[in-house]
Amino acid sequence: MNKVDKIHGVINLKNKVKSLTVKKSNKNDVKNIIGPSIINDKNKWTYVEVRETVTKFGKNKIYLSDYAEIYFDNYSIVKQINFYDLKNQKEIKFSKDGTKTYAIEDSFFKNLLSSTRERARRARERIK
């Protein structure tokens, strides 16, 4: 295997997650074993580990990508642990919905602003 060039996230995430116990471990145990979370919701903490190397053609290749979601109940006890590795990350469902933009769309105001900008540009050219 090639030399590891970059490691992102928590080192040895898989083994650390295995040491947690559902319905026994709490938030303090998780902090002590894994460390601070990259994404902290009130009852969901998220951890990642990504290892990539440079191939002989000079491209980066990810060969380890682990993702863990740890859910807590109202008493800060681990309720559920979801662990995804490179093989089963395809099971994660992403939303197909697009984000609505609040930028100026093709409308009266956009046309007005662009025509005003064009007139100002032509006026500057005449002055020169």
Domain membership of residue 34 (yes or no) is: yes
Domain membership of residue 107 (yes or no) is: no
In this predicted structure, which of 2-11, 31-40, 87-96, 117-126 has the lowest mean pLDDT?
Answer: 87-96
Please list, in sequence order, all residues whose beta carbon lies within 8 angstroms of the beta carbon of residue 57, skipping any fewer than 6 positions away: none
Q: Which residues pair with 71 in a beta bridge?
A: 44, 80
Structural domain tally of the chain? 1
Domain membership of residue 65 (yes or no) is: yes
Kindly report, residue by residue over 91-106, the tens digit of the pLDDT. Answer: 556 566 666 655 555 6
Q: Which domain holds residue 79?
A: 6-92
Domain membership of residue 10 (yes or no) is: yes
Rounded distance between C-alpha atoms, residue 115 and residue 100, angstroms = 26
Rounded distance between C-alpha atoms, residue 110 and residue 117, angstroms = 10
Residue 30, number of CB atoms within 10 A of its CB? 22
